[in-house]
Amino acid sequence: MQSSQHVPWSVEHNRRALVPIAVIVIMAVVAVGLVAVFSLSTGIAIGLVATLLAFAPVIPIAMLFLWIDRWEPEPGRLLLAAFLWGASIAVVTALIGSLVLNITWSRLLATENTHALGLAVTAPVVEEICKGLFLLWLFWFRRREIDGVVDGIVYAGLVGLGFAFMENIFYLGAALEEGGLAGGLFVFVLRCLISPFAHPLFTIMFGVGLGLAVQSSRPLVKALAPACGLALAIAMHGLWNGSILVLDGAGFLIVYALIMVPVFIGAIVIVTWQRKRLQRVVAQQLPRMVSTGLIHPGEVAPLACLTSRGRWRAAVQQRQGADAAKGVKDYHAVITELAILYDRQSRGAIGDDYAKLERELVAGLYDARARAHSHPAALTVASQAVGQQNPYLRA
What pLDDT is stored for residue 378 in this prediction? 44
Angle (nearest 5°) at CA 235 between 233 and 239: 120
Q: Residue 178 — pLDDT band, cuts 50, 70, 90?
A: very high
The share of the chain scoring above pLDDT 90, in percent, equals 55
Q: Residue 289 — pLDDT band, cuts 50, 70, 90?
A: very high
Q: Residue 382 — pLDDT band, cuts 50, 70, 90?
A: very low
Q: Residue 215 — pLDDT band, cuts 50, 70, 90?
A: confident
Q: Whole-prediction pTM value?
A: 0.86
Mean pLDDT across 209-217: 90
Cβ count near 219 (within 10 Å): 8
Dist. CA 121–CA 142, nearest whole Å: 31
pLDDT tens digit sequence for 237-246:
999 999 988 8
Question: Which range is least confidently modeled, 45-54, 105-114, 308-317?
Answer: 105-114
pLDDT tens digit sequence for 259-277:
999 999 999 999 999 889 9
What pLDDT is stored for residue 16 in this prediction? 56
Dist. CA 173–CA 203, nearest whole Å: 24
Q: Residue 50 — pLDDT band, cuts 50, 70, 90?
A: very high
Dist. CA 201–CA 214, nearest whole Å: 20
Angle (nearest 5°) at CA 373 between 369 and 374: 120
Cβ count near 88 (within 10 Å): 22
pLDDT tens digit sequence for 329-372:
888 989 999 999 999 888 887 877 888 889 988 988 888 877 76
Question: Which range is least confidently modeled, 135-139, 306-310, 391-395?
Answer: 391-395
Report the amino acid identity of residue 284: Q
Angle (nearest 5°) at CA 302 between 298 and 305: 145
CA atoms within 13 A on the CB side of 353: 10
Give yes or no for residue 377 having a pLDDT over 50: no
Q: Residue 14 — pLDDT band, cuts 50, 70, 90?
A: low
Q: Residue 392 — pLDDT band, cuts 50, 70, 90?
A: very low
What pLDDT is stored for residue 15 in this prediction? 56
SS (H, E, C) the chain: CCCCCCCCHHHHHHHHHHHHHHHHHHHHHHHHHHHHHHHHHHCHHHHHHHHHHHHCCHHHHHHHHHHHCCCCCCCHHHHHHHHHHHHCHHHHHHHHHHHHHHHHHHHHHCCCCHHHHHHHHHHHHHHHHHHHHHHHHHHHHCHHHCCCHHHHHHHHHHHHHHHHHHHHHHHHHHHHHHHHHHHHHHHHHHHHHHCCCHHHHHHHHHHHHHHHHHHCCCHHHHHHHHHHHHHHHHHHHHHHHHHHHCHHHCHHHHHHHHHHHHHHHHHHHHHHHHHHHHHHHHHHHHHHHHHCCCCCHHHHHHHCCHHHHHHHHHHHHHHHCHHHHHHHHHHHHHHHHHHHHHHHHHCCCCCCCHHHHHHHHHHHHHHHHHHHHCCCCHHHHHHHHHCCCCHHHCC
What pLDDT is stored for residue 111 in this prediction? 63
CA atoms within 13 A on the CB side of 37: 9
Give yes or no for residue 7 having a pLDDT over 80: no
What pLDDT is stored for residue 184 in this prediction? 95
Phi, psi of 261 (to 5 degrees): -65, -50
